[in-house]
Amino acid sequence: MKVFPEGFLWGGATAANQCEGAYDLGGRGLSSVDTVPYGPERMAVSRGEKKMLSCEPGYIYPAHEAIDMYHHYKEDIRLFHEMGFKCYRLSIAWTRILPDGDDETPNEQGLAFYEDLFRECRKYGIEPLVTIDHFDTPIALIKKYGGWRDRRMIDAYVHYCRIIFTRYRDLVKYWLTFNEINMLLHMSYMGAGIVFEEGEDREQVKYRAAHHELLASAKAVTLAHELMPGSQIGCMLAAGQFYPYTCNPEDIWDGLEKDRDNYFFIDVQARGAYPVWAKKRMERSGVDIGLTSEDEQVLRSGAVDFIAFSYYCSRCTTADPEVFKAHARPGNAVFRAVVNPYLKSTEWGWQIDPLGLRVTINTLYDRYQKPLFIVENGLGANDVLEEDGTVHDPYRINYLRAHIEAMRDAVVLDGIPLIGFTAWGCIDLVSASSGEMKKRYGMIYVDKNDDGSGSLKRYKKDSFYWYKKVIASNGADLDE
Ligand code: BGP
């Protein structure tokens, strides 16, 4: 059965800070994620509520070694090829290229590292999909400017883009400007290098930073088209529709407003202008982003070519504070939401909703009419490595199968143009929200533990063989 279009980009996704390690090798400078510790303070640092701009004694910083892909990338890409990957999404660590974020001359060792990595992909016919900034702000720029709160970040970012576009124009066609750009509202240090100061208006700081990232993104799109004709450059949303908890119109409105918090970013990146409601909303809450007519021109000419997104789960919301209190998602969740009683949850409390993926795909296409790309989806679970080196992960296969089926329905039944699907953390890596290794997403197991111990040896899980079959059949064979 022919289901997915010819050339559909099947593959996997990672991010530099979650897998490379070698944080102080090859001339690399310190980056925001390098100072986000494992343990109870991680969320406060990620949100910009606790200042930690250097590595302090007594803490574990998972990004420092991660799974040491810096030294294992040839082996890892070979394994991706064995699975049949057509595409590999990765991010460039800004400070490998520019250790201080805005150095005049780039670091040749960093440039050479990615050049070799891209060549390795090309050798196997794997299309690289590159995230320019995946939770990655150079510490030197955080110290100099206070992160993306400052407009001068835009020039630093464009300078970085010019360097990588020029160097990799013959090796990379697909680019993403910022990973999960809407995350800066929730994890402001991770998403924008922001540490809040005592008593400052946080909404004002966040939306200014958002405006600066949106301008930087638009400029990157324009520059990419100029320097790399034929390149495709996209935005990237942490997606997942908000469902109203009941059909009470108050809940419907609440859902619409919460969705707008996220679409706010993509509306600008896809259409090249702020929507009317966004301007009014900022005006009502006294937020001034410093929008000029020149900015409007920049945004207009820098609309993206495609919409990429991550999807793990849908979200559920209520306008009633009592209902919220009674049903709030447990733990330190990134998105505030209530538990959807119709859905099961993962070990980490993320609700499993494959049909929600079809809902999300359709909503995004209705809204933007641009090709879509699912660049993250997967299940974080506590896998067991057996004595004989096998890992049995039927739960991951079930999760992925159900989501690929929903994606197939969106493509085949609804006719939505989808460029590809890259499963998140195709090889085990550090969890962004929790810093854990034991929250594993991979089809390849890496022997590395939360306390930093482990041989770093790679093992194929059952899902490895299953995904290989899925890709070989272009999505027609989803059976185990
Ligand atoms: C997204 C990020 C990724 C990744 C993923 C899974 O928010 O883009 O970096 O980590 O979520 O989340 P986690 O690692 O917190 O389980």
Residue 401 makes CB contacts below 8 A (sequence gap 6+) with 478
CA 88 from centroid of its chain's CA atoms: 14
| Strand partners of residue 175 | 130, 233
The answer to whether 19 and 67 have CB atoms below 8 angstroms apart is yes
Is 1 a residue whose pLDDT tops 80? no
pLDDT in tens, 217-254: 999 999 999 999 999 999 999 999 999 999 999 999 99
Q: For residue 351, give the nearest of 394, 327, 404, 315 by alpha carbon.
A: 315
Average pLDDT of every residue of the chain: 97
**Cβ(238) – ligand 1 distance below 6 Å:** yes
Instruction: Give 350 Cα–ligand 1 centroid separation in angstroms.
Output: 12
Rounded Cα–Cα distance for residues 195 and 193 (Å):
7
pLDDT for position 247: 98
Using H for helix, E for strand and C for coil, what is the string for 233-247? EEEEEECCCEEECCC
Indicate which residue's Cα is closest to atom 10 of ligand 1: 432
Ligand 1 site, residue 16, Cβ cutoff 6 A: no
3-state secondary structure of 91: strand
DSSP string, 187-201: SHHHHH---PPTT--
Q: Please, which pLDDT band fits residue 342 given cuts at 50, 70 and 90?
A: very high
**Could you tell me which of 223, 244, 235 has the C-alpha nearest to residue 264?**
235
Decide: 380 in ligand 1 pocket, CB within 6 A: yes
Asked if residue 58 has pLDDT above 80, the reply is: yes
pLDDT single digits (tens) 352-370: 999 999 999 999 999 999 9
pTM greater than 0.75 (yes/no): yes
Complete DSSP assignment for 148-209: GGSTTHHHHHHHHHHHHHHHHTTT--EEEEETTGGGGGTSHHHHH---PPTT--HHHHHHHH
**Cβ proximity of 398 and 35 under 8 Å:** no
Distance 308 CA to ligand 1 centre (A): 15
pLDDT value of residue 2: 62
Q: For residue 336, what are its two tokens?
A: 């505030």
If one counts every other C-beta atom within 10 angstroms of the C-beta of residue 283, the result is 10
With a 6 Å cutoff on the Cβ, whether 431 touches ligand 1 is yes
pLDDT given at position 3:
81
Q: Is 130 exposed, middle or buried (0-12, 13-18, 19+ CB in 10 A)?
A: buried
The best mutation among 20, 376, 396 to test binding of ligand 1, ranked by most ligand atoms within 8 Å of the C-beta, falls on: 376
Q: How far is the CA of 332 from the centre of ligand 1 (A)?
A: 14
If you compute the radius of gyration of the chain from its CA atoms, what whole number of angstroms results?
21
Residue 36 alpha carbon to ligand 1 centre in Å = 14
Q: Is the CB of 295 under 6 A from ligand 1?
A: no
**Annotated catalytic sites, by residue?**
180, 376
Q: How does DSSP assign 298-332, residue by residue?
A: HHHHT--SEEEEE-S--EEE-S-HHHHHHHBPSSS
Residue 412 has pLDDT above 90, yes or no: yes
> CB of 15 closer than 6 A to ligand 1?
yes
Inter-CA distances, 118 with 133, 210, 427, 469, Å? 17, 30, 18, 25
pLDDT tens-digit series, residues 296-326:
999 999 999 999 999 999 999 999 999 999 9
Distance 217 CA to ligand 1 centre (A): 21
Q: Using DSSP bridges, classify how beta strands 444-446 and 87-91 pair: parallel, antiparallel or unpaired.
A: unpaired
Q: How far apart are CA 302 and CA 296, in angstroms?
A: 10
The DSSP element (H or E) to which 344 belongs, if any, is none
- Given a cut of 90, whether residue 200 has pLDDT beyond it is yes
Q: How far is the CA of 215 from the centre of ligand 1 (A)?
A: 24
Question: Which residue has the CA at smallest separation from atom 4 of ligand 1?
Answer: 432
178, 181, 310, 350, best to mutate for ligand 1 pocket (most atoms within 8 Å of CB)? 310
Report, as an integer, the average pLDDT of 194-202: 96
Beta bridge partners of 31: 138
- Whether 377 lines ligand 1, by a CB cut-off of 6 Å, is no
What pLDDT does 336 receive? 82
Tell whether ligand 1 has an atom less than 6 A from the beta carbon of residue 17.
no
Give me the domains of the chain, ranges plus CATH numbers: 9-472 (3.20.20.80)
Q: Is 232 in the pocket of ligand 1 (CB under 6 A)?
A: no
Neighbours of 91 (CB within 10 A): 23
4 and 112 Cβ atoms separated by less than 8 Å:
no
**What is the tens place of the pLDDT at every residue in 94-152?**
999 999 999 999 999 999 999 999 999 999 999 999 999 999 999 999 999 999 999 99
Residue whose Cα lies nearest atom 2 of ligand 1: it is 432
At 480 the pLDDT is 82
Which atom of ligand 1 lies at the shortest distance from residue 179's CA?
Answer: 8
Q: Is the CB of 131 under 6 A from ligand 1?
A: no
- Closest residue (by CA) to atom 5 of ligand 1? 432
Decide if 241 contacts 206 (C-beta within 8 A).
no
pLDDT value of position 334 = 76
At 160, list the tokens.
């970085």
- How many A from CA of 431 to the centre of ligand 1? 6
